[in-house]
């Protein structure tokens, strides 16, 4: 099995590429977490069962490929038939027989399974033509939904590890770093620090041990890009880490994976084992004399462990408390040795940059922000999922073209980027190009790639309260400004949400925010007040409605809202009466119902079952 | 596994610990295995780990209490994890949480007295496109609605 040298790798590539082409038609079943949750494994089983007793020319069970996440999770389970790109959504096991007999054998389309564009209401045949995919530019996610995540042969078939072979045989470590610097690749984990520069600093520190760590902690609640890459294309992350290791002179690497991502651990471990078995990882890689090992560390559920110094402590088996960075962790990191820490997506970009060259990469994106960025486009948008766009694409293109606009055609209110360290941008900012610098200037930040779309039913005070409560529970407690400051900010938002807030509280909050930013030890506290600052900046009216009018315009803050029946709309179907666990609704069949405010707990059960939308929350 | 805290089979413990390099760097990984096996960290296990790795029990305790994944009290047979990440929050996770808490008569972080169910909240399980999401043990339920929340407890 061992690949002894780069020439053998090229031969393997040819062999596996031919193998991947051996069937004229291929069925791709998305097996990302979303599709699995929707029953994708049942689809795979159904194909296996159905094909077991069929004898179809040029099509066997091996032509059914389980891939990583396509990104269009809400439409899952997804099935794509290549090479044409026939795209079926919401597939059920009972559809499998017709997919084989009609679409595969006789080339017929199954209309009901096609995707319907939410804007034009047209059915679309091929996935390339679906707006959700058409406006994307996939580099870091290049293999997702294309190759089997768990098969190293498929990765080698798409020229995987060719970049590594090229680097090891033709370039010096300095040349690799020069190329990465030239490409302009900036860290995708949030800060946007130039990757090549970090590598150079690390290489220049004299030490017998250098380390490479991949940050797969993905703490931003509402983001799943890194998860999808680790699950769907683990080899590209490993290859990126190996190239980095060669460049900085590291022999040992670690991948720190978030506790909630068990499948990512399984796939990464399989990829590591396969590489070891093939001589691509371990001692004397591809016969070049270069050696490198990778170990997986699982996080244990602490947001702060995404921060570099906390993460390194956690890898060492300790409590994940950050330290003051008088000396940066690239100089003195894991076990006090020079360490490069990069994000999953950053590493996934490295192989293709080395393969196609820095000039190619720089030609994509915009000034000072080369390449692409993956986002998890979620919230109140019609097409939710995992996307990747060229830097400089506007928010409007992302939300309205790729995302298909807001659910139920409601008005757009805000988009949140940057996770708990980021901010909310209003409608006036929709034409902002998405890149590191523009987002920061607008008072938000790129962050790791969560992009949460909000409509008029999202309360901005509640959003600020939400992020603050998240940060209060995740603050490690080591420094006072963060521990006590964020706590007080959270208490004050609670006060406003319950209608007890005053305008003096807002002033207090703005002042306190500045102290927290200046005084905190690590990025968690330094950026903690951002969700409050950006919402007060762009949505002050909404805060004032809570304070002056004791009103929550979005209908979210429980103390300030009531549920009432709109009599003209109520058909008297008694669905809400049955649904209410508190016996708060009464009324006769076919007559308008009535909600008793003294009993109503505002749990929303009635709204969820009311077909004519006759319950108003105000 | 109907029984609660007291009667555990600790004979597996030395094996669980010995599978990892016996140095302090393995502490978190060993605790994770113990957590998976017993669904919490029994006191006996903490002591055995401290001894095997030659680290003070106080350090084992500080790690065990710092990370959210660890619990010092036993968990129910079925752990209901409600995602309260941003995407799920925006789509009404708080209302789902109310429903489940009311239905089981316990709050997040607690376990029913018959040891059947525990409720936990977690900030994002990485399935944000299907928000709001609830996990029952390892099974994902996406697009949960206020009126269907109770149902998922039944089919696990
Ligand atoms: C509180 C906090 C949490 C963070 N969480 C993450 C995370 O989950 N994933 C990540 O890649 N970077 C995270 N970062 C950023 C890392 O500290 C670090 O900058 C990054 O991993 C470097 O990789 P990059 O240059 O490739 O982006 C976090 C930073 C802070 C302050
Ligand atoms: S926010 Fe709930 S799964 Fe990500």
Give the model's pLDDT for residue B2.
Answer: 39
Give the model's pLDDT for residue B156.
Answer: 56
Q: Do residues A275 and A352 both lie within one domain?
A: yes
Q: How far is CA A275 from the centre of its chain?
A: 26
A554 within domain boundaries: no
Report which protein residue has its CA nearest ligand 2's atom 1.
B85
Q: Which residue has the tokens 């990302």?
A: A32
User: A191 CB under 6 A from ligand 1?
Assistant: yes
Q: Do residues A180 and A325 both lie within one domain?
A: yes
Residues A262, B147: C-beta atoms closer than 8 Å:
no
Report which protein residue has its CA nearest ligand 1's atom 2.
A307
Report which protein residue has its CA nearest ligand 1's atom 4.
A306
Task: State percent of chain A over pLDDT 70.
Answer: 100
CA distance B20 to chain A (A): 12
**In B, which residues are within 8 Å of A39 by CB distance?**
none
User: B45 CB under 6 A from ligand 2?
Assistant: no
Report which protein residue has its CA nearest ligand 1's atom 5.
A306
Q: Do residues A208 and A332 both lie within one domain?
A: yes
Contacts of A177-181 spanning 24+ positions with Cβ under 8 A: A177/A203, A177/A247, A179/A353, A179/A354, A179/A357, A179/A358, A180/A247, A180/A350, A180/A353, A180/A354, A180/A358
pLDDT tens digit string along A407-424?
999 999 999 999 999 999
Of A354, A355, A396, A336, whose CA–CA distance to A173 is shortest?
A354
The DSSP call for residue B20 is S
In the reported structure, the alpha carbon of residue A519 is separated from the centroid of ligand 1 by a whole-number distance in angstroms of: 20
Separation CA A459–CA A466 (nearest Å):
10
Q: Which of A458, A493, A522 is the last residue of a domain?
A: A458
Q: Do residues A213 and A249 both lie within one domain?
A: yes
Which domain range does residue A507 map to? 461-548
Q: Do residues A202 and A334 both lie within one domain?
A: yes
Please report which ligand is nearest the Cα atom of A198.
1
pLDDT (mean) for A418-434: 95
Phi, psi (deg, nearest 5) at residue A340: -95, 125
Secondary structure of residue A517 in the 3-state scheme: helix
Residue A471 has pLDDT above 60, yes or no: yes
Separation CA A50–CA A237 (nearest Å):
35
A380 within domain boundaries: yes
Q: Do residues A213 and A291 both lie within one domain?
A: yes
Separation CA A186–CA A342 (nearest Å):
10
A145 within domain boundaries: no
Q: Does domain B78-155 have CATH number 3.40.1260.10?
A: no
A223 within domain boundaries: yes
In the reported structure, the alpha carbon of residue A189 is separated from the centroid of ligand 1 by a whole-number distance in angstroms of: 5
Separation CA A357–CA A493 (nearest Å):
50
Q: Which of A406, A439, A458 is the last residue of a domain?
A: A458
ipTM: 0.92
| Mean pLDDT value across chain A | 95
A2 within domain boundaries: no
Q: Do residues A293 and A163 both lie within one domain?
A: yes
How far apart, in Å, are the Cα atoms of A113 and each of A50, A103, A122, A234, A329?
Answer: 19, 11, 13, 30, 51
List A216's β-bridge partners, or say none: A257
Give the model's pLDDT for residue B1.
Answer: 39
pLDDT (mean) for B21-46: 92
Decide the pairing of beta strands A115-116 and B78-83.
Answer: unpaired
- Give the number of domains in chain A: 5
Residue A190 has pLDDT above 90, yes or no: no
Extents of the domains making up chain B: 3-66, 78-155
In the reported structure, the alpha carbon of residue A378 is separated from the centroid of ligand 2 by a whole-number distance in angstroms of: 9
A487: CATH: 1.20.1440.230
Please report which ligand is nearest the Cα atom of A34.
2
* Packed helices B27-38 and B43-53: angle between N→C axes, nearest 10 degrees: 150
Q: Do residues A71 and A156 both lie within one domain?
A: no
Q: Do residues A160 and A253 both lie within one domain?
A: yes
Q: Do residues A498 and A531 both lie within one domain?
A: yes
Q: How confident is the model at residue B155 (pLDDT cuts 50, 70, 90)?
A: low
Q: A417 and A377 in contact (C-beta within 8 Å)?
A: no
Q: Which of A458, A477, A501 is the last residue of a domain?
A: A458
**∠ CA B97-B100-B101 to the nearest 5 degrees?**
80
Consecutive H or E run containing B91: none
Q: Do residues A410 and A435 both lie within one domain?
A: yes
Q: Which residue has the tokens 């549920």?
A: A563
Q: Do residues A76 and A213 both lie within one domain?
A: no
Q: What is the pTM of this model?
A: 0.95
B130 touches chain A (CB under 8 A): yes
Decide the pairing of beta strands A594-595 and A585-586.
Answer: antiparallel
CA distance A327 to chain B (A): 23
pLDDT tens digit string along B130-154?
999 999 998 999 999 998 898 998 8
**∠ CA A498-A503-A504 to the nearest 5 degrees?**
110
Residue A552 has pLDDT above 50, yes or no: yes
Residue among B91, B126, B146 whose CB faces A260 most closely: B126
């Amino acid at each position: 099995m061992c690949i002894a040298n780069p020439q053998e790798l090229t031969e393997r590539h040819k062999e596996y590429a031919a193998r991947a082409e051996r069937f004229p038609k291929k069925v791709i079943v998305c097996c990302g977490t979303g599709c699995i949750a929707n029953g994708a494994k049942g689809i795979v089983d159904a194909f296996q069962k159905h094909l077991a007793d069929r004898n179809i020319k040029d099509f066997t069970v091996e032509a059914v490929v389980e891939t990583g996440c396509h990104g269009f999770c809400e439409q899952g389970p997804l099935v794509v038939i290549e090479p044409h790109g026939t795209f079926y959504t919401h597939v059920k096991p009972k559809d499998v027989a017709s997919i084989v007999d009609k679409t595969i054998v006789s080339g017929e389309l199954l209309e009901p399974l096609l995707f319907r564009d939410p804007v034009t209401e047209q059915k679309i045949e091929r996935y390339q033509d679906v707006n959700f995919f058409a406006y994307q530019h996939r580099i870091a996610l290049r293999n997702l939904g294309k190759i089997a995540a768990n098969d190293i042969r498929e990765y080698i078939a798409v020229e995987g590890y060719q970049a590594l072979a090229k680097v090891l045989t033709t370039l010096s470590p300095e040349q690799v770093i020069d190329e990465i610097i030239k490409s302009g690749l900036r860290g995708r984990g949030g800060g946007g620090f130039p990757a090549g520069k970090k590598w150079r600093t690390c290489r220049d520190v004299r030490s017998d041990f250098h380390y490479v760590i991949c940050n797969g902690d993905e703490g931003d609640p509402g983001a799943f890009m890194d998860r999808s890459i680790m699950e769907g294309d683990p080899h590209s992350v490993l290859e990126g880490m190996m190239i980095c290791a060669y460049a900085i002179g590291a022999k040992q690497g670690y991948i720190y994976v978030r506790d909630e991502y068990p499948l990512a651990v399984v796939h990464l471990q399989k990829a590591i084992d396969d590489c070891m078995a093939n001589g691509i990882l371990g001692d004397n890689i591809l016969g070049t004399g270069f050696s490198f090992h990778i170990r997986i560390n699982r996080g244990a559920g602490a947001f702060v462990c995404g921060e570099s110094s906390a993460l390194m402590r956690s890898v060492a088996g300790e409590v994940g408390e950050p330290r003051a960075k008088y000396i940066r962790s690239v100089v003195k990191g894991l076990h006090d040795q020079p360490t490069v820490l990069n994000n999953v997506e950053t590493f996934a970009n490295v192989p293709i940059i080395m393969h196609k060259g820095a000039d190619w990469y720089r030609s994509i994106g915009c000034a000072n922000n080369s390449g692409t960025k993956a986002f998890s486009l979620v919230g109140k948008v019609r097409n939710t999922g995992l996307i990747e766009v060229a830097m400089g694409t506007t928010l409007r293109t992302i939300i309205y073209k790729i995302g298909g606009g807001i659910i139920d055609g409601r008005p757009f209110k805000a988009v949140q980027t940057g996770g708990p360290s980021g901010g909310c941008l209003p409608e006036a900012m929709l034409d902002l190009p998405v890149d590191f610098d523009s987002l920061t200037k607008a008072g938000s930040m790129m962050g790791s790639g969560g992009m949460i779309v909000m409509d008029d039913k999202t309360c901005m005070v509640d959003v600020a309260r939400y992020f603050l409560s998240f940060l209060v529970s995740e603050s490690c407690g080591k420094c006072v400004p963060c521990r006590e400051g964020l706590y007080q900010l959270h208490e004050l938002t609670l006060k406003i949400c319950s209608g007890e807030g005053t305008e003096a509280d807002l002033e207090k909050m703005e002042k306190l925010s500045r102290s927290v930013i200046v005084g905190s030890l690590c990025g968690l506290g330094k950026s903690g007040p951002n969700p409050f600052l950006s919402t007060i900046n762009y949505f002050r009216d909404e805060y004032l409605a809570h304070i002056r009018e004791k009103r929550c315009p979005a209908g979210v803050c429980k103390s300030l809202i009531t549920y009432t029946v709109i009599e003209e709309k109520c058909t008297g179907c008694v669905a809400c009466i049955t649904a209410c666990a508190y016996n708060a609704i009464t009324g006769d069949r076919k007559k308008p119902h009535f909600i008793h405010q003294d009993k109503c707990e505002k749990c929303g059960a009635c709204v969820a079952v009311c077909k004519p939308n006759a319950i108003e929350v105000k | 596994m109907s029984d609660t805290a007291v009667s555990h089979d600790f004979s597996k413990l030395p094996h669980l610990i010995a599978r990892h390099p016996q140095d302090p760097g393995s502490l978190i990984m060993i605790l994770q295995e113990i957590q998976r096996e017993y669904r919490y960290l029994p006191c006996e296990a903490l002591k055995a780990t401290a001894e095997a790795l030659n680290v003070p029990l106080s350090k084992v305790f500080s790690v065990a209490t710092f990370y959210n994944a660890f619990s010092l009290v036993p968990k129910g047979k079925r752990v209901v994890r409600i995602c309260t990440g941003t995407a799920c929050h925006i789509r009404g996770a708080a209302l789902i949480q109310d429903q489940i808490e009311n239905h089981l008569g316990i709050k997040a972080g607690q376990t029913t007295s018959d040891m059947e169910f525990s409720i936990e909240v977690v900030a994002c399980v990485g399935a944000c496109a299907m928000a709001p999401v609830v996990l029952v043990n390892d099974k994902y339920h996406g697009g949960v609605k206020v009126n269907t929340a109770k149902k998922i407890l039944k089919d696990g």
